[in-house]
């Protein structure tokens, strides 16, 4: 059976890195490429971090393309306060030399999406996708499926009372992507904070993964320590919310999340810039351009995440801790 091809558009970033690891451990998928966008980290740092993850996973066969270094209009604001000064939890892993591709991310997307059937999992700001629309909307419309980690429905924001970082960092890009989806009867699968906040990597789950697979567990511990500290300091929780892996898990198994179809528009101005306005009650009488995920089977997620990353299916020892 031919494997589904997926392009991961991301801003590594600690949770992006965990998402890449999960995707690489999913044999039913071909990771066609990784494209980097400015977000958590500046693009060159994101490129460097993606290489470090591919090297650890022994997958330096996956091409990485560098994308947009600035949002469409808004002044770029990184998230290094959350991801550490190296964008990878201040793990300061050794640099991987070279590996620069001959084209940039948008050129790669333009070429590949019209030649090959690919889905895109967007784990960062949507700047690359917005540039693609502006340069070649047919290539964007050729994307098989788009899963986006971003936005929030009823959950509060993480960059403002109402906005989630990926859509807040480049609201104009997110707005263009959702508007283009609406104009062309396409659906964006929005895996937002309503579901990702329920996926918390705890010390117990991490320790369990280390026991099952010390090499992988120690790597995860190395890149998430800073993230644990950040979550204690700012959200007073023991553990860290790992947003991006849930978007990947949902792509792999749609039963992991459930939700509803809805018209969604992204606000681009003023105090609520970056807010994903979800018209769940259909006030505007507009066709849906999104599938908004608002329920998650946390146990199903952890069973996949732990099983695929460690190579061992979780057992009763962790049963209590992965109920959600
Ligand atoms: O708001 C969380 C999202 O923003 C995640 O994708 C995280 O990596 C950052 O990009
Ligand atoms: Ca991300």
User: Widest CA span of the chain, in angstroms?
Assistant: 53
| Radius of gyration, alpha carbons of the chain | 18
Question: From the CA of 243, how far away is ligand 1's center (Å)?
Answer: 6
Question: Residue 237's closest CA among 200, 205, 193?
Answer: 200
Question: From the CA of 49, how far away is ligand 1's center (Å)?
Answer: 15
What is the per-residue pLDDT across 26-66, written as a single tens digit (0 to 9) for each? 999 999 999 999 999 999 999 999 999 999 999 999 999 99
Tokens of 48: 């460097």
Q: What is the average per-residue pLDDT within 285-301?
A: 98
Q: What is the rounded distance in angstroms from the CA atom of residue 230 to the CA atom of residue 194?
A: 20
What is the per-residue pLDDT across 221-270, written as a single tens digit (0 to 9) for each? 999 999 999 999 998 999 999 999 999 999 999 999 999 999 999 999 99
Residue 102's pLDDT band (cuts 50, 70, 90): confident
- Least trusted range by pLDDT, from 43-52, 65-74, 99-108: 99-108
Question: From the CA of 46, how far away is ligand 2's center (Å)?
Answer: 10
HEC sequence for 275-308: EEEEECCCCCCCCCCEEEEEEECHHHHHHHHHHH
Q: Which residues of 214-230 are buried (b: 16+ CB within 10 A; e: fewer)?
A: eebbebbbbbbbbbbeb
- 298-310 and 243-252 helices, crossing angle to 10°: 90
DSSP letters, 18-66, are HHHHHHHT-TTEEEEEEEE-SSSS-HHHHHHHHHHHHHHTT-TTS-EEE
Q: What pLDDT does residue 17 have? A: 98
Say whether pLDDT at 87 is over 90.
Answer: yes
From 42, 82, 240, 244, give the residue whose CB has the most ligand 1 atoms within 8 Å, as the site to mutate: 244
DSSP state of 163: B
What number does the ligand 1 atom closest to the CA of 244 have? 6
Torsions phi, psi of 26, nearest 5?
-110, 100
Domains of the chain as residue ranges with CATH: 4-322 (3.90.245.10)
Q: What is the rounded distance in angstroms from the CA atom of residue 236 to the CA atom of residue 233?
A: 6
How many CB atoms are closer than 10 A to CB 28? Answer: 9
**Ligand 2 ion local residues (Cβ < 5 A):** 11, 13, 16, 123-124, 244
What number does the ligand 1 atom closest to the CA of 164 have? 1
What number does the ligand 1 atom closest to the CA of 13 have? 8
From 150, 227, 274, give the residue whose CB has the most ligand 1 atoms within 8 Å, as the site to mutate: 150
The chain-wide mean pLDDT, for the chain, equals 97
């Amino acid at each position: 059976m031919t494997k589904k091809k997926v392009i991961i558009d991301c801003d590594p970033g600690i949770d992006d890195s965990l998402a890449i690891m999960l995707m690489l451990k999913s044999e039913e998928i071909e990771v066609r490429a990784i494209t980097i966008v400015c977000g958590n980290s500046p693009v060159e740092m994101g490129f460097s971090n993606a290489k470090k993850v591919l090297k650890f996973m022994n997958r330096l066969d996956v091409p990485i393309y560098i994308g947009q270094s600035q949002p469409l209009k808004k002044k770029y604001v990184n998230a290094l306060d959350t991801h550490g000064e190296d964008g990878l939890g201040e793990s300061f892993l050794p640099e991987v030399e070279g590996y620069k591709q001959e084209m940039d991310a948008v050129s790669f997307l333009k070429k590949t999406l019209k030649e090959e059937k690919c889905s895109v999992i967007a784990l960062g700001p949507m700047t690359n996708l917005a540039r693609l629309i502006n340069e070649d909307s047919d290539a964007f419309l050729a994307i098989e499926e788009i899963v986006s980690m971003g936005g929030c429905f009823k959950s509060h924001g993480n960059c403002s009372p109402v906005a989630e970082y990926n859509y807040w960092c480049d609201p104009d890009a997110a707005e263009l992507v959702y508007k283009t989806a609406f104009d062309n009867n396409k659906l964006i699968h929005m895996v937002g904070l309503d579901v990702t906040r329920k996926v918390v990597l705890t010390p117990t789950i991490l320790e369990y993964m280390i026991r099952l697979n010390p090499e992988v567990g120690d790597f995860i511990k190395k890149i998430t320590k800073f993230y644990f500290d950040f979550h204690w300091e700012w959200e007073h929780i023991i553990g860290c919310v790992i947003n991006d892996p849930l978007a990947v898990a949902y792509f792999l198994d749609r039963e992991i999340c459930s939700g509803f179809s809805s018209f969604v528009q992204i606000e681009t101005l003023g105090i609520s810039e970056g807010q994903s306005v979800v018209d769940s009650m259909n006030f505007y009488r507009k066709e849906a351009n999104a599938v908004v995920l608002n329920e998650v089977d946390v146990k199903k997620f952890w069973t996949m995440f732990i099983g695929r990353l460690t190579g061992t299916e979780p057992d009763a020892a962790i049963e209590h801790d992965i109920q959600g």
